[in-house]
Amino acid sequence: MALSKPPAIFLMGPTAAGKTDLAIELTKVLPCELISVDSALIYRGMDIGTAKPSKEILAAHPHRLIDILDPVQSYSAADFRRDALEAMADITARGKIPLLVGGTMLYYKALLEGLADMPAADPQVRAELDAQAQQQGWQALHDELAAVDPVSAARIHPNDPQRLIRALEVYRVSGLTMTSHRLRQAEQSSSTDPSGQGQLPYTVASLAIAPQDRQVLHERIALRFTQMLEQGFIDEVRLLRARSDLHAGLPSIRAVGYRQVWDHLDGKLTSVEMQERGIIATRQLAKRQFTWLRSWADLHWLDSLACDNLSRTLKYLGTVSILG
């Protein structure tokens, strides 16, 4: 069956699930090129704490959108959508299939659905919200969000400061809640394309990989964090701290693991506390990723521990006619 739109593959899943390994196996048997979908891998000089593929792996299996920014820079979902669409078009034009791999679910959502026209970040409002959080705690900010935008509050966990601040920032800057912005965007999308598929001009096969047993994932996360520390993660953060232009409020330094090591080097956490909190924060990230994935339509699940995921994936791609 000929596709009316060119094919693309999304390979999603929680952190430490084995996405990169499977993606590389797929590139060996399919005409795919890789695009990273990870809000931490975009940063140069942040290699150990992001579990970035080695230089050797990246040389053999290039990924777009890795090492594209300095840690002092910000990168929004809108920036990702622009860059990913450009990369997908380039890959498709050369007769290849874009294979998007990573765990930043907001980026995938932005690609599929487009983005509501929300106000740009406002440093002053963010600083005010951050100060309020330090004084009153994150729960107080979450309560404030629940009062004005209960839909967003139900979606955003009190322990997710970045998204919590963004939701309140949107409301304070524009006078409209994030939910209102999204509803407006959804109405515009449905009026231009009733199928709801018009935001992304590709036929997408969505795959997710994770261990069926959540305890296995928790063990993998703990092992990976311990290995990062052994590989020199603290020294990596020490180098970042030595720069005068980086601070704990930047998105790069707020990345899971980096925030905890930074606090340790600030003397706020002992070595043991840093390791415990880093592992807990990573588990919370995985939980949020699972929450996103459970709501994903037409998603094909793979078990990280299965030994035949490559053949299972190829079989599934054949059934959805993604391979032409």
pLDDT tens for 271-306 read 999 999 999 999 999 999 999 999 998 999 999 999
The string of pLDDT tens digits covering residues 229-277 is 999 999 999 999 999 999 988 899 999 999 999 999 999 999 999 999 9
193 within a domain of the structure (yes/no): no
Same domain, 273 and 305: no
3-state secondary structure 111-180: HHHCCCCCCCCCHHHHHHHHHHHHHHCHHHHHHHHHHHCHHHHHHCCCCCHHHHHHHHHHHHHHCCCHHH
Residues comprising the chain, all counted = 324
Query: Do 315 and 276 share a domain, yes or no?
Result: no
32 with 113, same domain: the answer is yes
Residue 188 lies in a domain: no
In a domain? residue 241: yes
Q: Are residues 132 and 73 in the same domain?
A: no
Q: Which of 300, 304, 324 shows the shortest CA–CA distance to 313?
A: 300
Residues 314 and 256 in one domain: no
Asked if residue 1 belongs to a domain, the reply is no
Is residue 109, in this structure, part of any structural domain at all? Answer: yes
CA 257 from centroid of its chain's CA atoms: 15
Residue 164 lies in a domain: yes
Number of domain units in the chain:
3
Shared-domain flag, residues 60 and 141: no
pLDDT of the residue at 159: 77
User: The domain containing residue 135 runs over which residues?
Assistant: 123-183
Work out whether strand 7-12 and strand 97-101 pair parallel, antiparallel, or are unpaired: parallel
Does 324 fall in a domain? Answer: no
Query: Is 204 inside any structural domain?
Result: yes
Say if residue 174 is in the same domain as residue 246: no
Measured at the alpha carbon of residue 43, what is the angle toward residues 40 and 47, in degrees to the nearest 5?
Answer: 80
Residue 240 and residue 257 in one domain: yes
pLDDT given for residue 188 in this prediction: 67
Q: What is the pLDDT along the chain (324 residues), one digit of tens a residue?
A: 456 899 999 999 999 999 999 999 999 999 999 999 999 999 999 999 999 999 999 999 999 999 999 999 989 898 999 999 999 999 999 999 999 999 999 999 999 988 777 788 888 998 899 899 999 999 999 999 999 999 999 888 887 788 899 999 999 999 989 888 878 877 766 554 433 445 799 999 999 999 999 999 999 999 999 999 999 999 999 999 999 999 988 899 999 999 999 999 999 999 999 999 999 999 999 999 999 999 998 999 999 999 999 999 999 999 987 776
Query: b/e for 75-93, b at 16 or more Cβ within 10 A?
Result: bbbebbbebbeebbeebbe
Same domain, 77 and 204: yes
Tell me if 220 sits within 8 A of 211, measured CB to CB.
Answer: yes
Supply the CATH number for residue 23's domain.
3.40.50.300
The answer to whether residues 103 and 146 belong to one domain is: no
| In a shared domain, residues 150 and 266 | no
Q: How far apart are CA 152 and CA 198, in angstroms?
A: 25
In this prediction, residue 191 carries a pLDDT of 54
CATH number of the domain at 170, please. 1.10.20.140
- Report the C-alpha gap between 160 and 83 in whole angstroms: 26
Q: What CATH number has the domain bearing residue 261?
A: 1.10.287.890
The verdict on 240 and 262 lying in the same domain is: yes
